[in-house]
Structure 1
Amino acid sequence: MRIATFNLESFGSSHRNAAAFKERAVVLRPQLDRLKADVLCFQEVDAPKVGGIRRTSDLKRLLEGMPYAEYSLLVSPGPSGVRPADVHNLVMLTHFPVIEQHIIRHHFVEPLGFRRHTAIPPDPDVTALTWDRPLQHVVLGLPTGSRLHVFNVHLRARLAAAIPGQKSGPFAWETVSGWAEGFFTAAVKRAGQALELRLAVERIMDDEPDALILVCGDFNAEDHETALRLTCAREDDTGSGHLAPRVLTPVERTVPVDQRFTVIHHGRPEMLDHILASRALFAHFTHVEIHNEMLEDEVVAYGRIRQHPESLHAPLIATFDIS
């Protein structure tokens, strides 16, 4: 069984500076062929309006003629809870039977109240810090008769969140105070999403102590950072040996450090995309791949490559022997 996660980076975008579909498809189709995934988790699938309704039409065009075209295609809804959001939807593809699917957004962690100190004009009251994206939870039926819980996630980016009156451009700020408050806000949102993810996992483990659980996606965080520590819940963090069965483990830890990256930022390799497995599932783990051989530096790409067609994230694939 091969499980893959891949941030497609605004695939299907209607933005005037985005690469054309044909240019992106030429690059992405060979990457998808190489994955040979049984379960594929995508992040950043856009859904522009087609006939007045938001649809992930470009993704379906991308998959035409590929084995994935026959897979079940599950798309996370936007804030309305019905149709996809305009940008950055979660999508899961699989040929396994879908038993259940759930969308989690503030089910276990309510929006956090915060009064922004640097907003112009000042906030008259607290404002709600809500998650930018939901969590996608799908339960699949395996050929062995077992249930596999798969979470597809995309946590808040590490860029500072917008503060009213404090930005002078897409990446430029009027004051250090405004940037600092925006950066703090983004960090709180990312940690809050990770907390909600961990609480969702706990609910499953309460009912199924030996549950087969996978958490896949773009965490916008490396192994040692808060979002990963919250989600993994290692024994050295909880301090309790009896909680060891609830630990989630990043499969990429088996990859040599110098090859362990899915993003290059300003010349620095970073592992921001992860696949985490429960102990019961990790017993079947055999292999991991990071397809980062042709990865571009995202700072260079944004600044020097006009309408770059590739994703600036590398796909991550884990193989499990479920028989």
Structure 2
Amino acid sequence: MKVRLATFNLENLDSGPKASAPVEARFSVLRPQLARLNADVLCFQEVNAQRILSAEPRSLDALNQLLADSPYQNFHRLGTAHDDGSLLDKHNLVIISRWPFLERRQIKEELLEPPLYQTRVEPDAGAKAVGWDRPLLAGLIEFPTMQRLWVVNLHLRAPLAAALPGEKSGSFSWNSVSGWAEGFFLASMKRNGQALEARLFVEEVLSADPDALVAVCGDLNAESEEVPLRILRADLDDTGNGALSGKVLTPLERVLPDWRRFSVIHAGRKTMLDHILASRNLLNAFSTIEVHNEALGDELSAYACVGQSPESYHAPLVAEFDILDAD
């Protein structure tokens, strides 16, 4: 049985007055991209929630409209939420699947306690927890073949310096190099900590079932050789222990030629920030991967020059697997 698994950062999908571009203009660009993916399971990042009436709870109205009258309309769905079940205002994670979910996990600072850090600019405030920006979302799917797949949807923090009291003069400008450097250090703690918690969840799954099929998908805001990806991959070159080979996650884009291996263009530099990583047994079922980056624009140039752009400046990825019947 062929299964197509995709990931796509929709880049602040929203509707109403806060939307970055008219919603119908965004839909006219995004709908053909979703159709081309022809996915059975799809991980979305940056899905904003809307409140249609002030007295009503927020809903994923923009996403509902995007998927309406498409093959994805009736897919099963998981999404991130607060403890009380209400949706996050911004940057929800969503997984949709042709097949039902047997289990849902939303994890944030549960498997790993955030590190404590005392900032230089507030020496009397004491050490405070450096937590992650977002949770991870995981869903367990059972295929008609009786095989099961854990899909982990992950959106790591961008490598932008975290704000510090009194150190910024604007959204992207700092009062001192030392302030920026400390903010950048804090941001790296947040990004690497969240990657570590995702790796700990994968460890939990593979320790319970060494033959489990696991995919970690999403906008990881890092290239394959950067620290967050090395934490997630756990290559034997890093662990130095051949007995741990079953715990390795492999970035599937490795099979792409260099000239196709990018999902974002920033100031003319092509980089692979979006990934699908597969566990050993899932890798054995892997056949192909596509990155739909042919029409991708430069995000930095667009922010400066294009008003109300309907594009996402992340290219979607889709991988295909041949899933065999369970023994």
TM-score in same-fold range (> 0.5): yes
Q: Partner of 2:64 in structure 1? A: 60
- Alpha-carbon distance in structure 2 between the residues aligned to 1:127 and 1:19: 38
Q: Partner of 2:80 in structure 1? A: 76
Q: Which amino acid aligns with 1:45?
A: V
- Alpha-carbon distance in structure 2 between the residues aligned to 1:233 and 1:198: 9
- Alpha-carbon distance in structure 1 between the residues aligned to 2:176 and 2:17: 29
Q: Partner of 1:113 in structure 2? A: 116
Q: Which amino acid aligns with 2:109?
A: H
- Alpha-carbon distance in structure 1 between the residues aligned to 2:124 and 2:249: 39
Deviates more, 1:28-37 or 1:17-26: 17-26
1:34 counterpart = 2:36? yes
- Counterpart of 2:296 in 1: which secondary structure? coil
Deviates more, 1:49-58 or 1:25-34: 49-58
> Is the CA contact 1:13–1:87 (under 8 Å) kept in the aligned structure 2?
no
> Is the CA contact 2:13–2:19 (under 8 Å) kept in the aligned structure 1?
no
> Is the CA contact 1:118–1:177 (under 8 Å) kept in the aligned structure 2?
no
- Alpha-carbon distance in structure 1 between the residues aligned to 2:25 and 2:127: 45
- Alpha-carbon distance in structure 2 between the residues aligned to 1:63 and 1:17: 17
Q: Partner of 2:159 in structure 1? A: 158
- Matches for 1:194-273 after TM superposition, within 5 Å: 194-273=195-274
- Counterpart of 1:50 in 2: which secondary structure? coil
- Alpha-carbon distance in structure 2 between the residues aligned to 1:310 and 1:188: 30
Q: What stretches of structure 1 move > 2 A for 4+ residues in a row? A: 13-17, 48-52
Deviates more, 1:234-243 or 1:158-167: 158-167
Q: Which amino acid aligns with 1:64?
A: A
Question: CA offsets, 1:37-70, max 9 Å, x none?
Answer: 0000000000132334121111001111001001
Q: Partner of 2:6 in structure 1? A: 4
- Alpha-carbon distance in structure 1 between the residues aligned to 2:291 and 2:262: 8
> Is the CA contact 2:79–2:93 (under 8 Å) kept in the aligned structure 1?
yes
Query: What's the offset of the Cα at 1:15?
Result: 6.0
Q: Which amino acid aligns with 1:59?
A: L
Kindly tell me the number of residue pairs found equivalent between the two proteins.
Answer: 320
Q: Which TM-score applies when normalising by structure 2?
A: 0.95
5+ long unaligned stretches in structure 1: none
Q: Which amino acid aligns with 2:222?
A: A
- Counterpart of 2:216 in 1: which secondary structure? strand
- Matches for 1:235-314 after TM superposition, within 5 Å: 235-314=236-315
- Alpha-carbon distance in structure 1 between the residues aligned to 2:137 and 2:204: 15
- Alpha-carbon distance in structure 2 between the residues aligned to 1:162 and 1:87: 18
- Alpha-carbon distance in structure 2 between the residues aligned to 1:81 and 1:293: 41
Q: Partner of 2:184 in structure 1? A: 183
- Alpha-carbon distance in structure 1 between the residues aligned to 2:19 and 2:276: 31
Query: What's the offset of the Cα at 1:21?
Result: 0.6
> Is the CA contact 2:157–2:191 (under 8 Å) kept in the aligned structure 1?
yes
- Counterpart of 2:5 in 1: which secondary structure? strand
- Alpha-carbon distance in structure 2 between the residues aligned to 1:196 and 1:85: 20
- Counterpart of 2:28 in 1: which secondary structure? helix
- Counterpart of 1:54 in 2: which secondary structure? coil
- Counterpart of 1:49 in 2: which secondary structure? coil
- Alpha-carbon distance in structure 1 between the residues aligned to 2:182 and 2:298: 27
Q: Partner of 1:102 in structure 2? A: 105
Query: What's the offset of the Cα at 1:265?
Result: 0.6
Q: Which TM-score applies when normalising by structure 1?
A: 0.96
Deviates more, 1:305-314 or 1:13-22: 13-22
> Is the CA contact 1:116–1:123 (under 8 Å) kept in the aligned structure 2?
no
Q: Partner of 2:47 in structure 1? A: 45
Query: What's the offset of the Cα at 1:14?
Result: 5.1
Q: Partner of 1:174 in structure 2? A: 175
Query: What's the offset of the Cα at 1:257?
Result: 1.0
160 and 321 in structure 1: CA distance in 2 versus 1, 3 angstrom threshold: same
Q: Which amino acid aligns with 1:68?
A: Y
Question: CA offsets, 1:79-136, max 9 Å, x none?
Answer: x4521111111001111121000101111111221111125xx551112211110010
Q: Identity, % of aligned pairs?
A: 51
Q: Which amino acid aligns with 1:106?
A: E
1:21 counterpart = 2:29? no
Q: How large is the Cα RMSD of the aligned pairs? A: 1.2
Q: Which amino acid aligns with 1:305?
A: V
- Counterpart of 2:72 in 1: which secondary structure? helix
Q: Which amino acid aligns with 1:63?
A: L
Query: What's the offset of the Cα at 1:175?
Result: 1.2
130 and 319 in structure 1: CA distance in 2 versus 1, 3 angstrom threshold: same
Query: What's the offset of the Cα at 1:75?
Result: 1.1
Q: Which amino acid aligns with 1:118?
A: V
> Is the CA contact 2:41–2:96 (under 8 Å) kept in the aligned structure 1?
yes
